[in-house]
Amino acid sequence: MKAFREVLAAIVCVLSLTVLEGRCESSGPQSRNPGFETYSLNGKWTVCNSNGSLSFSAEVPGCVHTGLLKQGHIQDAYYRFNDLAYRWISLDNWTYTTTFSVPAEIRSKQKVHLVFEGVDTVSSISLNGAALGKTDNMFRRYDFDVQGLLREQGNVLAVALSSAVAYATDRSRAHSAYPVPPDCPPPVQKGECHVNFVRKAQSSFSWDWGPSFPTLGLWGGVRLEAYDSLRLPYLAATPARGGDPSQWSVEAELHCDAVAAAEGSVTLLLPELATQQTFQISLPAGQSRSTFVLPVNKSVEVELWWPRGHGSQRQYNMSVQMKLDGGFAIDTKTLVSFRTVELVQEPIAGSPGLSFYFRINGIPIFLKGSNWIPAHAFQDQVTPSILRNLLQSAADANMNTLRVWGGGVYEQEHFYSLCDQLGVMIWQDFMFACALYPTDSEFIETVRQEVTHQVRRLKSHPSVIVWSANNENEAAIASDWFGIPAPQRPRYVKDYVTLYVDNIREIVQKEDSSRPFLTSSPTNGAESEREGWVARDPYDPHFGDTHFYSYLQDCWDWRGFPRTRFASEYGFQSWPSFSTLQKVSAPEDWSYQSGFSSHRQHHDAGNQQMLEQAKLHFHLPDSPDPLQAYRDTLYLTQVMQAQCVKAQTEFYRRSRSEIIDGQGKTMGALYWQLNDIWQGPSWSSIEFGGKWKMLHYFARDFFAPVLPVGFLDQGLLLIYAVSDLTSDLTLRVVVTVYQWSSLKPVCTLASGAALVSGGSALPLFKQPAAALLAGCGNCTALTCVLTFHLEDSEGQRGPTNHLFLSSPREAQGLQMPNITTSIRQDGGTYEVTLRTSAVAPFLWLDVGDIPGRFDTNGFLMATESRTVRFYPWGPTSASQLSRALQVTSLRGVYRRQP
């Protein structure tokens, strides 16, 4: 009976197409190459559910959720508890259908293929009643030969999507030989089970920072590709440097799909480098790969592509001209960037283990940045402007690296192109995370297709510097996350090697030898390989990269952090601002103890952990106004997060040149995480919608190219100069001591000048803290605070930093500041002048929903006045900003404390 209802629903869905005839985005020819045409089928499609009770028009690319929203069938899926209320959408089956005409110039070609750039996820596809095939992988491109099925008018294309949740459950049950854990996410995540059995964004079934929205839809474009001779599904260009450092070449890789065997020539041109060469080509019928190496003219200087902060991001146009016997010709272009990348794992003097750092163009680079998660649960909502805002925000915070995390999606082309332009390097995971996976032949085959497609698609981007096979799956086995009995462990290690080494690694090495490959993150790298790919301790700080989280120890105490070779994940949670939460909540939700606050928290005990960490160093808010107390608590979680990540990041940056007790030489700090997928608590430094948290403002300073780092070690005050520059500097430290009770400095001290080599961290200031304070007006650790900066002969270099000698909750003399503000427009930006009556730590400026950012925020204000600049992201005015501006200080959130 159920099958009959679904057939009937499909008929209803097809009949409803008559109103949409010709509504596809039929763009017609999209190629200037004679003999090859593309025809877009994007645009309005009809979507129906399994019983025909819902039928509506929806956009392709898109998904069912956004289609339902745009037609008014559901509210904002992010509003309050709608992630649970709309669970039914992901449990149903849906059919996408369109009717279209086909121009004669398409139908007349010898070959016509129907190409799907992204099907989400499990489907059966038919054209004019004929079955074309099935899909089971969100990350693959699907391609069907449809030349004999097309007619001039009334072509009906149907994509019948099955619930990925049901599919994953069925696949798990069918895998009866042995379990493949985990079965389900923790209950706090309110998610779906068995996501490791479906090739889909793993976080779409829920994660500890995001909702469960197992989407269905056509998330990539759909088009016809028609040709008489051949088409080029992939074109890649990767640089290589010869034994002679001045000799560059470009390896051009052409993936051809030819109607018949053909002979001809390929001409590669780099006009800006006065380089051109013609090669003969012999193509078999069907699919083939041809590789040509173009030596670059040595008499022309090649400008290199450099990571952000180390040089420019030069890209060259390369023309590819193919001519085949019979008159067929292709003339296309691609971009080439010249850079080399090496992952250096070699012995270190005075330390066991191996180094782990990246050398770009022969220069060791400290990787500074964060981890990237999907920018929205519904990928069709991730617009170019959203990507630009987030990636520019990363660049503006002095980041040079993002890790595209393995539980999300391989990002769209625009993402990688922007990273190329901005100089933001990409650590690219393959999409496997926090789970074990099946290794049956069907699963392995779809993964092989996925990996091959993604490597071919992305290998030309200079921003991608490393492939990593998964997130935390080596650690999951080594640390026994899933309670696997010891006698059964070899079976899972074997599956791990089969998937990531025998298949993914084998494909990557075949497809792309231009950049390094890692089997996991964290991993011991070469040592993990030596131990059979699953190390005894993948978190060993003497090797590879590490992930480190501890929510119970004091995050200000640097002694609790691992002095690792490379920190690829670490962090602390915070809540977003009230203006961000207000959009998806109701007044009854505006309490830290509300059901909404509990519902949005997907990390076990996360809300309490934030307060416990905050209580170590701050008084908790005590406003008698419940709404103000809530807003103050949100603010305090951001203060706590910012200060915690600052302490840990500065520890890693000052550890770049040192070996202490065999550990150190840290060469990377990527905190978790950059962005949010919805409005809720998470480890992010940027809220959903693009607003900077306090952490992101702090990141702008703690990732500065030149940075002073201060800390206490058994009563000794040390201040390091950290430099990411390639040139040397002669620097001194200037320390200013303030009493909490006064805006006038107590005293100022300076170190002697010293040579700080480029790419190093050097201690410039050492003095017992008690002696320093005693010599500064009888200060104590409770009554005074330090600021410090670096100077050379030309003035200050880098930001001014601060060090609390005791917890602010114990500060003596900290007063309630009287803050006044004035705002004036200065061209396209706005100057905000602040005046204070008292020292104000963590002074926070918030303009609510007005999009934009300040040049600094969350700072220690120790002068009577200070001017900061606001950069709007849209039209606003000084009067609007004045009305919206709210200023919060640490002392202001605990009004009744002494």
Residues annotated as catalytic are 472, 569
Non-local CB neighbours of 383 within 8 Å, separated by 6+ positions: none
Cα–Cα nearest to 615, from 564, 555, 664, 687: 555
The DSSP secondary-structure symbol of 503 reads I
C-alpha 120/C-alpha 140 separation (Å) is: 10
Angle between helices 626-654 and 694-702 (to 10 degrees): 20
822 vs 812: CA distance, rounded Å: 30
Six token digits for residue 779: 């200060």
Do 240 and 248 touch, CB atoms closer than 8 A? yes
Distances 703 to 278, 311, 638, 721, 792 between C-alpha atoms, Å: 46, 17, 18, 13, 19
- Measured distance CA(596)–CA(588) in Å, rounded: 9
> At which residue do the structure tokens 């790419």 appear?
759
> In angstroms, how far is CA 392 from the centroid of its own chain?
13
- Secondary structure (H, E, C), 157-174: EEEEEECHHHHHHHHHHH
Task: Report d(CA 349, CA 359) in Å as an integer.
Answer: 19
Contact 684, 676 (CB under 8 A): yes
Q: Can you give the length of the chain in residues?
A: 898
User: How does 343-373 read in b/e, with b if 16+ C-beta sit within 10 Å?
Assistant: bebeebeebebbbbbbebbeeebbbbbbbbb
Residue that has been written with the tokens 């290199």 in this structure = 304
β pairing state of 659-660 and 230-241: unpaired
C-alpha to C-alpha distance for 5 and 10, rounded to whole angstroms? 9
- Output the CA angle 211-681-842, nearest 5 degrees: 160
Whether 575 contacts 637, CB under 8 Å: yes
Q: Going by DSSP bridges, is the β-strand pair 706-713/716-723 parallel, antiparallel, or unpaired? A: antiparallel
DSSP string computed for 607-670: HHHHHHHHHTTSPPP--SSHHHHHHHHHHHHHHHHHHHHHHHHHHHHHTTT-EETTEE---EEE
Contact of 366 with 653, CB cutoff 8 Å: yes
- Cα 281 from chain centroid (whole Å): 40
* Under 8 Å between Cβ of 73 and 57: no
CA angle 668, 672, 675 (to 5 degrees): 120
Structure tokens belonging to residue 739: 């009493």
Strand partners, 708: 721
3-state secondary structure 418-466: HHHHHCCEEEEECCCECCCCCCCHHHHHHHHHHHHHHHHHHCCCCCEEE
Q: What are phi and psi of 294, to 5 degrees?
A: -105, 110
Amino acid at 700: R
CB of 408 closer than 8 Å to CB of 431: yes
Pairing, β 852-854 against β 865-872: antiparallel
Q: Report the candidate in 197, 214, 201 with the shortest Cα–Cα distance to residue 443.
A: 197
